[in-house]
Amino acid sequence: MKNIEALIEDGGDVTLGAIYPIVCAATASDGHNALAMLVRRDGETLNALLNRLDKAIARYYADGETTDEINPPSE
């Protein structure tokens, strides 16, 4: 989980837990921007969720693409 580690070393944060009404989510931010907000899938282990978060952070570092599974796109 090198991207999670790099984010934290650079002053960012990772949060894991409930975000009502979501039972379990994982988020990552750099102090200014949300890089990724993921919803834990049915049957998904915490390790698998953290691996997806690590990949989402890598995507942000590579091309600036954020991942948001929590907020539906506005119409």
Q: Give tens-digit pLDDT for 15-72.
A: 999 999 999 999 999 989 999 999 999 999 999 999 999 999 999 999 999 999 999 7
- Note whether residue 33 is domain-resident: yes
Residue 75 lies in a domain: no
What are the start-end ranges of the E strands in the chain? 13-19, 22-29, 34-39, 67-68
DSSP state of 1: -
Tell me how far apart the alpha carbons of residues 42 and 23 are, in angstroms, rounded to a whole number.
11
* 62 part of a folded domain: yes
Q: Which residue segment(s) compose the domain that 23 sits in?
A: 2-66
Quickly state the pLDDT bin for 74 (edges 50, 70, 90). confident
Q: Is residue 73 part of a domain?
A: no
Looking at the structure of the chain, the number of domains it has is 1
Specify if 57 maps to a domain: yes
On whether residue 51 sits in a domain, the answer given is yes
